[in-house]
Structure 1
Amino acid sequence: MVYTGQVTVGGAPDVHELKDLIISKVAVGPMSNNAYVLRCRATGEQLLIDAANEPETLLEVIGPDGIGAVVTTHQHGDHWQALRAVVDATGARTYAGRDDAPGIPVPTTDPVDDGDTISFGEVRLTARHLVGHTPGSIALIYDDPHGHPHVFTGDCLFPGGVGNTHDDPAAFASLLGDVTAKLFDVLPDESWVYPGHGNDTTLGDERPHLAQWRERGW
């Protein structure tokens, strides 16, 4: 099966198979959030990005091997509704951006700063702090040694623009600035983007529109 990144609430996960990593993307309701289960091929260890909702759905995708960690990309409630249930069922550690951790009701065992590494099995993810959608939003970058980077952006970058900054010009300037400096300026066009809602994209598909986003202000 060819991975498309197109998933629907109630539908099956879509699975992106890389040489060292398997990424399972699933959509959960009611806000059609994306959640991602990452599995290290070498060790079988797993990590979940955003326990958004529907814990039974997420635990089914996780399977009997469990997970060692859950990373919450930011503090908005639609991204952690299932966090308590998933942590209780799996004993997973919890990661979140240091500045957003106080806004997440499940305690964060490992606060994350810009540039920190989150590891599971032989897989390494680099966290980048992107300020604007929330004070402590993080993106996670997997720099595939056999190919291009893969970037999990939460609600900071989507096809067609950056995340909602609620008509705050300073927040928009901050978010667009961080996304530009920490993603577009340092990663290649082939970098695959996995957002917190909706379809995937690539940095190359979005790069030509940066000036337009800056001009329109959202």
Structure 2
Amino acid sequence: MAVAPMDNNIYLIQCTATGAGLLVDAAAEADRVLALLGATEPVGVVTTHRHGDHLGALAEVLTATGVGSWAGAPDAAAVAAAAGVPLPRPLSDGDRLTVGALTISVIALRGHTPGSIALAWTDPDDGLTHLVTGDSLFPGGPGRTRTPEDFRTLMTDLEQRVFARFDDATVVHPGHGLPTTLGAERGSLPDWWARGW
């Protein structure tokens, strides 16, 4: 679901076997976010990174649902301060979250922010892998970085932790805009390196 003027994507990862669900990026419009949950039994909310446009409804959603939240360890304190919520449970690269029968892997993609993370899981019904990448990977390239070092860090993490690990059919669900696949983006890696953004 896209919300707010920046068309932030909010995702609900739901286990169809149990009804458990994980909300990703409570960006804005809390009433719509809560309606999206419907009869889902939420286990928590993950914030992909510390930027304010990805956490505007976090406090209201946490209060309404009574669940806790997670964020990448280097961003957790900033998320708490920006949203006015308790410190999210910190996540690190390689951590796993359980949502009903689903196991969701945490991938640190440093660079857009120090604690940016992606979530990966494989659909048990069709075997397709999905990545929710926040603002770290979009159709057409990596997310915005502020310094050449941040760009190199993000690109290295994307190459080593995403493109080297997952196949071309993997679906990428970015923080804004439409989805893509790793296959559609893989051939552009040299171009991204060359342009430096």
Q: TM-score band, normalised by the shorter chain?
A: over 0.9
In percent, how many aligned pairs have the same letter? 47
Structure 1 runs not aligned, ≥5 long: 1-25
Amino acid corresponding to residue 191 of structure 1 in structure 2: T
1:213 and 2:186 aligned: no
Q: Distance in 1 between matches of 2:163 and 2:86?
A: 32
CA contact (8 A) 1:148 1:188 kept: no
Q: Counterpart in 2 of 1:157?
A: 137
Other structure's SS at 1:68 match: strand
Deviation at 1:214, TM superposition (A): 0.1
Higher relative helix content: 2
Deviation at 1:109, TM superposition (A): 4.0
Q: Distance in 1 between matches of 2:36 and 2:104?
A: 21
Q: Distance in 1 between matches of 2:18 and 2:41?
A: 13
1:172 and 2:151 aligned: yes
Q: Counterpart in 2 of 1:94?
A: 69
Using structure 1 for the length normalisation, give the TM-score: 0.86
Deviation at 1:209, TM superposition (A): 0.2
Using structure 2 for the length normalisation, give the TM-score: 0.94
Output one character per residue of 1:90-142: Cα deviation in whole Å (capped at 9) or x when no partner.
01110100010011122234210110001111111000111100000000000
RMSD: 1.0
- Count of matched residue positions in the alignment of Structure 1 and Structure 2: 192
Structure 2 runs not aligned, ≥5 long: none
CA contact (8 A) 1:101 1:107 kept: no
Q: Counterpart in 2 of 1:29?
A: 4
1:121 to 84, 100, 105: 100
Other structure's SS at 1:58 match: helix
Output one character per residue of 1:43-76: Cα deviation in whole Å (capped at 9) or x when no partner.
1111100000000010111114441210000000
Q: Distance in 2 between matches of 1:66 and 1:53?
A: 20
Q: Counterpart in 2 of 1:57?
A: 32
Deviation at 1:37, TM superposition (A): 1.0
Q: Distance in 2 between matches of 1:49 and 1:162?
A: 19
Change beyond 3 A, Cα 1:108–1:124: farther
Deviation at 1:206, TM superposition (A): 0.2
Of the structure 1 ranges 63-72 and 202-211, higher mean CA displacement relative to structure 2 is found in 63-72
Output one character per residue of 1:16-60: Cα deviation in whole Å (capped at 9) or x when no partner.
xxxxxxxxxx00002110000121111111110000000001011
